[in-house]
Amino acid sequence: MRIIAGSLRGRTYKARKDPGVRPISGRIKKSLFDIIRGLLPGSRFLDLFAGTGAVGIEALSRGAGSVVFVDLDKDCVAAIEATVTRMGLGSKARAVFGNALSDLSWLPYRAGLEQFDLIFLGPPYKDLEKRPLAYSGKALARVAQAKLLAPGGWMIAQHHVKEDVPAPVGFERVRREKYGDTFLDFFRPSAATSQAG
């Protein structure tokens, strides 16, 4: 894996080989960070279904204030911890074992943060038997229910184009980008929700 830009531009790290982990493509990663560039400096970033940690590590390189990585695979969590430590990012990063499809009320305690400015979800599209999983909508709903998004923040979901991903209650999709078989959807609190808050 290679870091595209920022203070660690060009640095590489090994990602654990696992058929269940699908790293984000370089093209999608570049586009994602071009879009959120203005929101990133100093931000509190949450990388759910972190896998290789590629998105959160790129965020740290580009100036995020802190990143919390969450994954249900303990080997992925250990690999992320090793990578951020080796790159000198340990003080800004925390890798947490947990299920992003569960009630996420546990996450602020484990993460040491109540809310996040940017929340990225990159769940797997298919299981090992190639059956579609469709995790994105459920995970977004869990994030919204746990009130993990800070005021003015964005939630971003990477998902297969055939997966229907509705906006969680109180949110609206404000942008969609397509890359082959992948959509990046960007969500913010709806205008009515923001005014009520």
Going residue by residue through the chain (197 aa), what tens digit of pLDDT does each one get? 889 998 899 898 877 666 566 778 889 999 999 999 999 999 999 999 999 999 999 999 999 999 999 999 999 999 999 999 999 998 999 999 999 999 999 999 999 999 999 999 999 888 777 788 889 999 999 999 999 999 999 999 999 999 999 999 999 999 999 999 999 999 999 876 554 54
Domain map of the chain by residue range? 26-196
Sign of CA dihedral 139, 141, 144, 146: negative
Look up the pTM and report it: 0.93
Helices 54-61 and 26-35 cross at an angle (nearest 10°) of 50
- Identify the CATH homologous superfamily for domain 26-196: Vaccinia Virus protein VP39 (3.40.50.150)
C-alpha 184/C-alpha 142 separation (Å) is: 18
CA–CA–CA angle 42, 44, 48 (5° rounding) = 140
AA letter at 159: H
